[in-house]
C-alpha cells in the first residue's frame, strides 16, 4: 500500500521570493475551556519553480523532501485565481470532480 502524502489547501500570501511562495493554511479548532471556535493560521513556504502563483491564489500544496532550510512543501495545483472563492467552495468543487471520476484518486 502506498504511503499517503500530506496535502493542504491555502491561499498565497507572498510571492516575493524566487521559486518560493508563502501559503497561509487556515484551520478551525475549539477552545479547550470556552468551547468557542478559534481560527488558526499556519504559514508554509512552498516551492514554485515556474513562479506561476500570484498573491491571492488558492493552491494545493504537497509535502515533499526538504528543498531548503524552510521549504518542505511544493505547489501541486493552482485551484483558483483570486476570484473571491472560499475554501469551502473549492473543496465542494473538488468533491464533485472526484465523485464523477473515482479512478483519479487511486494510485498504483
Q: Where in the chain are the domains? A: 7-105
Q: How many residues does the chain have?
A: 108
Asked if residue 52 lies in contact with residue 79, where contact means CB atoms within 8 angstroms, the answer is: no
> Around Cβ 71, how many Cβ atoms within 10 Å?
19
Q: What is the pLDDT of residue 29?
A: 96
Q: What is the pLDDT of residue 40?
A: 96
Asked if residue 77 lies in contact with residue 63, where contact means CB atoms within 8 angstroms, the answer is: no
The CATH class that applies to domain 7-105 reads mainly beta
Q: What is the pLDDT of residue 30?
A: 97
Q: What is the pLDDT of residue 87?
A: 62
Closest CA to 23 of 71, 85, 92, 64: 71
| Measured distance CA(68)–CA(73) in Å, rounded | 10
Residue pLDDT tens, the chain, 108 long: 678 889 999 999 999 999 999 999 999 999 999 999 999 999 999 999 999 999 999 999 999 999 999 999 999 999 987 665 566 666 677 777 777 765 555 544
Amino acid at each position: 500500500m502506498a504511503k499517503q502524502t500530506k496535502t493542504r489547501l491555502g491561499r498565497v500570501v507572498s510571492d516575493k521570493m524566487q521559486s518560493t511562495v508563502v501559503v497561509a493554511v487556515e484551520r478551525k479548532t475549539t477552545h479547550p475551556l470556552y468551547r468557542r471556535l478559534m481560527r488558526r493560521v499556519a504559514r508554509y513556504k512552498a516551492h514554485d519553480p515556474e513562479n506561476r502563483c500570484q498573491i491571492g491564489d488558492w493552491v494545493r500544496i504537497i509535502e515533499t523532501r526538504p528543498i531548503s532550510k524552510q521549504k518542505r512543501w511544493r505547489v501541486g495545483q493552482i485551484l483558483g485565481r483570486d476570484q473571491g472563492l472560499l475554501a469551502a467552495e473549492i473543496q465542494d468543487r473538488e468533491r464533485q470532480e472526484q465523485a464523477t471520476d473515482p479512478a483519479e484518486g487511486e494510485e498504483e
